[in-house]
Amino acid sequence: MTDKRIVMPFVHRRDFLRSSVAAAGALALPGLGTKMVFAQSGDTFKVGFVRVLTGRFASSFAPTAVAALIAFDEVNAAGGINGRRVEPIEMDDEAAPAKQPGLVLQMKDAGIHYAVGPVGSSAALSALAASTEAKIMSTTFALGTQFGDGDLYPYHYQCMCNTQQTSSANARYMVETLGIKKVGILTDDLEFGKQSADFAEQVLAELGATVTRENVPATSPDAAPYVENLQRSGAEGVLAYISSVPLTAQAFNAMVQLDWLPPVVGINVIFRKPLRDLLSDNALDNLYGHTYRTLTWSDTYEPGEKQKQFAESLKKHEIAAGAEVPIAHGPFYDFIHMLKLVIDDVKDFDVEKIKAEMDNLQGYEGLLGTFNFTPKQHCGLDDSAIVIAEVASVRDEKSNGLFRKQAPGQ
Amino acid sequence: MILDILVRGLANGSLYALVAVSFNILYRPTNVFNFAQGDLVMLGAMIAASLATVQGAPWIVTITLTLAFVAVVGLATERVAVAPVLNRAAHGQGWIISTLAVSLIIANSVGFIFGPDPLRLVPPSAIRTSTFVVFGTRVSPYQIFLIVLTPILVIAVERFYRTLEGKAVRAVAEDRDGALLRGINPKRLSRWSFFLGGAFAGLVGMLAAPLRYASIDLGPMLLLKGFAAVAIGGVGNNLGALIAGYILGIAESAGARALSPGSQEAVTFVLMLVILMVKPVGLLGRPEARTV
């Protein structure tokens, strides 16, 4: 008779089970603070709040939630939404696309029809595939152009600019204002980086610039060889589309090591504190990044009261220190305030009624600019909302952490 | 161009070799690969950068506290995640999952305590990271320091294995049960190895931070390369780890220059596969046979 037992040499069942329990405990430990999803009650207005509380991306993505926390507090201080206190229902997605459908299902079962999050294009794609069918109205921290397509995602509102707008602004500044015709593009291999670099290449080609592109894998141990290649190509300026702060820091470190400090125009990571600490004042003067006009100052422009108040609110959150600009660039703050405006106006929580109103919302003055939506156009800001700013202007007391000076020629 | 490839390759390879040696220190008396080793390296980098850069602590204080703290975390790893598994079955492999769990705990904890941003560790000015040109190649004093220090550290570790305690570790590595019969306490050696392996990992983190920055990404980044160096050099063999680290670093650097920088990872693993196909136990590894 054949012995059908499976023999696992050296691995004992009890050891395996004990270790598995230990591993499961370790994985669950950091997430103990996550609230469970409860059914919608009559007292509060529950909003799904998908954020990263555990996992390897927890520390990097955690600050992005601050804008939503500030908005929830402000809305509740102003009497809530349609007379109900807003209750954010926190759900930890670990920044994992695979977890999104399950979280959407949880929201659906709990009768939650409005959500903020997740963060990241891959997670957003996964979440929206499920939430669109469930008719959950949401905003995600994802800049891809597809996320503003009202036909594709009718219940999603992109409350910030998209990659096409930001890349175009960066490329135009490089060529039209700085006068650079040989441009190097340093990008990571994430969806956001690739899409940004693709759009920038198109614009640069239209403007007659020569382009050299280096794609740095997000897991690359060393950015220096890529930077060296750009230098060897004769690039006179660099467009940087790397989302990871450590990798961006490595790229700048390589530039310092090579004593090669060309003008660099980058995404909002470029405004983060570690890069400021790394570079000399001289090198910092050559760095620019795109930001929102409302978060800048110039000889003729000053930030508004809403923006100044937001800058003060950021100071109450220790985790926001040094990451003020990337936090403000998210869509959460404006979306939550827009929900209040529209629901208070309609005096109903019905998603279809709110969507109909949101689809025609015009001229809403938000933190990031003036929002206009149509049923087809769910990216609410136009190109004029974006400007290029000087990284070095953080040293000016006007900065207050959040604000930057518009770059010359803006 | 060749000098350029050599300098970068040897500097990076030195780091890979040191991570591999830190694996070996734990492996010899326990036959355990600590999957949290990369995170111990990262922890060392974060603590050192916080103390020296953020707090402005003197180097002697920074080095002492960093090594002591990571050593204690290494010991705790042994007590919590390895010893209970080995107590149940000396040749069991439940430690694969339990050390992975420790890795996740350390990575999450460091992320929450230190935040998402990378920290810079500025070395003393004598071994600064800024470069100068020699024969047309940019070299930094820190790269030279790292290239010189690495073989010294490997020799020091090998010297230790010639002491009585070191011989006991080798005896346990050869035959745990046999060593026990000769009056050697494998459990005590296991504890010491994790303590010292933790301290060594902390030192490697300190050495890596000026070049790679202290951030939670540092652990996984060096873990894979350390594993590759262990496999190529021969499991448990420190001289093999040193040679393998250099081979990896130079191959990466040459691959980046000759092919493209994106080929670095592919070069590493193709090289590893080719070497293991020719020498399955690694360059200096010995085939193991266990009689039962």
pLDDT tens, position by position, A369-387: 999 999 999 999 999 999 9
pLDDT above 80 (res A78): yes
pLDDT above 90 (res A57): no
Percent of chain A with pLDDT over 90: 69
- B45: CB partners within 8 A, 6+ apart: B119, B121, B205, B206, B208, B209, B212, B213, B214, B215, B218
pLDDT above 50 (res A161): yes
Over residues B180-194, the mean pLDDT reads: 88
Which helix H or strand E contains A119, and what residues bound it?
A: strand A114-119
Which has more confidence, B260 or A396? Answer: A396
Residue A170: pLDDT band by 50, 70, 90 thresholds? very high
**What is d(CA B45, CA A396) in angstroms, rounded to the nearest whole number?**
32
Separation in Å, CA of B213 to nearest CA in chain A: 7
Residue A56: pLDDT band by 50, 70, 90 thresholds? low
A221, A278, A323 ranked by CB distance to B120: nearest = A278
Q: Please give the interface size between A and B, counted as residue pairs whose CB atoms are below 8 Å apart.
A: 146
Return the residue in A29, A56, A185, A279 with the most chain B beta carbons within 10 A, the one to mutate for interface testing: A56
Separation in Å, CA of B75 to nearest CA in chain A: 18
Flag whether residue A19 sits within 8 Å of chain B, measured between CB atoms.
yes
- Predicted pLDDT at A246: 79
**What is d(CA B8, CA B207) in angstroms, rounded to the nearest whole number?**
15
ipTM: 0.76
pLDDT above 50 (res A20): no
- Mark B183-209 as b/e (b = at least 16 C-beta within 10 Å): ebebeebbbbbbbbbbbbbbbbbbbbb
- Predicted pLDDT at B53: 87
Question: Considering only CB atoms, which chain B residues are within 8 Å of A225?
Answer: 253, 256-257, 261, 264
Which has more confidence, B29 or A387? Answer: A387
- Weakest mean pLDDT among A20-29, A151-160, B141-150, B235-244: A20-29
Separation in Å, CA of A152 to nearest CA in chain B: 34
| Under 8 Å between Cβ of A266 and A187 | no
C-alpha distances (whole Å) from A257 to each of A265, B12, B130 are 19, 15, 6
Cβ contact, residue pair A59, B116, below 8 Å: yes
Quote the pTM value: 0.79
CB contact residues (below 8 A), chain A span 52-111, against chain B: 54-56, 58-63
- Sign of the C-alpha dihedral, residues A346, A347, A348, A349? positive
Mind giving me the DSSP string for B182-210?
TT--HHHHHHHHHHHHHHHHHHHHHHHHH
Which has more confidence, A35 or B61? Answer: B61
- Weakest mean pLDDT among A139-143, B149-153, B181-185: B181-185
Separation in Å, CA of A15 to nearest CA in chain B: 5
Separation in Å, CA of B159 to nearest CA in chain A: 31
pLDDT above 60 (res A7): no
| Under 8 Å between Cβ of B196 and B25 | yes
Cβ contact, residue pair B120, A274, below 8 Å: yes
Separation in Å, CA of A75 to nearest CA in chain B: 28
Question: Considering only CB atoms, which chain B residues are within 8 Å of A60?
Answer: 111, 116
pLDDT above 90 (res A322): no
- Among A103, A134, A135, which Cα is nearest to A119's? A103
Interhelix angle B186-212/B141-160, nearest 10 degrees: 170
Over residues A161-186, the mean pLDDT reads: 96
B209-238 pLDDT, tens digit each: 998 888 888 888 888 899 999 999 999 899
| Under 8 Å between Cβ of A303 and A296 | yes
* Residue with token string 């670099």: A197
Flag whether residue A33 sits within 8 Å of chain B, measured between CB atoms.
no
Average pLDDT value over all residues in chain A: 87
Helix segments in A261-322, DSSP class H: 273-278, 281-284, 305-314
| Under 8 Å between Cβ of B246 and B196 | no
Question: Considering only CB atoms, which chain A residues are within 8 Å of B131?
Answer: 257-259
Sheet holding A44-51, edge to edge: A85-92, A44-51, A114-119, A137-141
- Predicted pLDDT at A6: 35
pLDDT above 80 (res A37): no
Over residues A75-104, the mean pLDDT reads: 95
C-alpha distances (whole Å) from B219 to each of A274, B12, B32 are 19, 15, 18
| Under 8 Å between Cβ of A406 and A169 | no
Average pLDDT value over all residues in chain B: 89
Using DSSP, state whether A210 is helix, strand or coil.
strand
pLDDT above 90 (res B118): no
CA Rg value for chain B: 19
- Predicted pLDDT at B288: 64
pLDDT above 80 (res B183): yes
Cβ contact, residue pair A245, B118, below 8 Å: yes
- Predicted pLDDT at A171: 97
**What is d(CA B99, CA A22) in angstroms, rounded to the nearest whole number?**
10
List the single residue in A with minimal CA-CA distance to B133: A258
Helices (H) and strands (E) in chain A, counts: 15, 14
- Can you read off the two tokens belonging to residue A403? 């604000």
Cβ contact, residue pair B129, A244, below 8 Å: no
Cβ contact, residue pair A225, B89, below 8 Å: no
Which one-letter DSSP state was computed for residue A81?
A: B
- Predicted pLDDT at A5: 37
A241-270 pLDDT, tens digit each: 988 877 888 888 888 888 899 999 998 888
- Predicted pLDDT at A13: 44
List the single residue in A with minimal CA-CA distance to B264: A220
- Predicted pLDDT at A227: 94
Cβ contact, residue pair A222, B129, below 8 Å: no
CB contact residues (below 8 A), chain A span 101-160, against chain B: none
Residue B289: pLDDT band by 50, 70, 90 thresholds? low
- Weakest mean pLDDT among A112-116, B22-26, B163-167, B169-173: B169-173
Which helix H or strand E contains B139, and what residues bound it?
A: strand B137-139
- Mark A130-144 as b/e (b = at least 16 C-beta within 10 Å): bbbebebbbbbbbbb
Question: Considering only CB atoms, which chain A residues are within 8 Å of B42?
Answer: none
**What is d(CA A33, CA A247) in angstroms, rounded to the nearest whole number?**
31
Work out the number of other CB atoms within 10 angstroms of the CB of residue B178: 11
B98, B118, B261 ranked by CB distance to A249: nearest = B118
Residue B290: pLDDT band by 50, 70, 90 thresholds? low
Cβ contact, residue pair B89, A55, below 8 Å: no
pLDDT above 50 (res A11): no
Helix segments in B217-287, DSSP class H: 218-233, 238-258, 264-278
Cβ contact, residue pair B92, A12, below 8 Å: yes
Residue B250: pLDDT band by 50, 70, 90 thresholds? very high
Separation in Å, CA of B160 to nearest CA in chain A: 31
Separation in Å, CA of A384 to nearest CA in chain B: 31
Question: Considering only CB atoms, which chain B residues are within 8 Å of A278?
Answer: 120
- B63: CB partners within 8 A, 6+ apart: B48, B206
- Predicted pLDDT at A29: 42
Which helix H or strand E contains A188, and what residues bound it?
A: strand A182-188
Cβ contact, residue pair A56, B111, below 8 Å: yes
Percent of chain B with pLDDT over 90: 51
Separation in Å, CA of B257 to nearest CA in chain A: 8
Residue A284: pLDDT band by 50, 70, 90 thresholds? confident
| Under 8 Å between Cβ of A148 and A195 | no
Cβ contact, residue pair B97, A323, below 8 Å: no
Which one-letter DSSP state was computed for residue B94?
A: T
Question: Considering only CB atoms, which chain A residues are within 8 Å of B94?
Answer: 11-12, 15-16, 18-19
List the single residue in A with minimal CA-CA distance to B84: A15
B12, B84, B130 ranked by CB distance to A222: nearest = B12
Which helix H or strand E contains A405, and what residues bound it?
A: strand A404-405
List the single residue in B with minimal CA-CA distance to A227: B261
**What is d(CA A139, CA B237) in angstroms, rounded to the nearest whole number?**
54
Percent of chain B with pLDDT over 70: 98
CA B190, B193, B194 angle in degrees (round to 5)?
A: 90
- Predicted pLDDT at A42: 61
Return the residue in B86, B97, B99, B109 with the most chain A beta carbons within 10 A, the one to mutate for interface testing: B97
List the single residue in A with minimal CA-CA distance to B120: A278
Return the residue in A54, A59, A119 with the most chain B beta carbons within 10 A, the one to mutate for interface testing: A59
Q: How many residues does chain A have?
A: 410
**What is d(CA B151, CA B135) in angstroms, rounded to the nearest whole number?**
24
- Predicted pLDDT at A376: 97
Over residues A70-92, the mean pLDDT reads: 96
pLDDT above 60 (res A364): yes
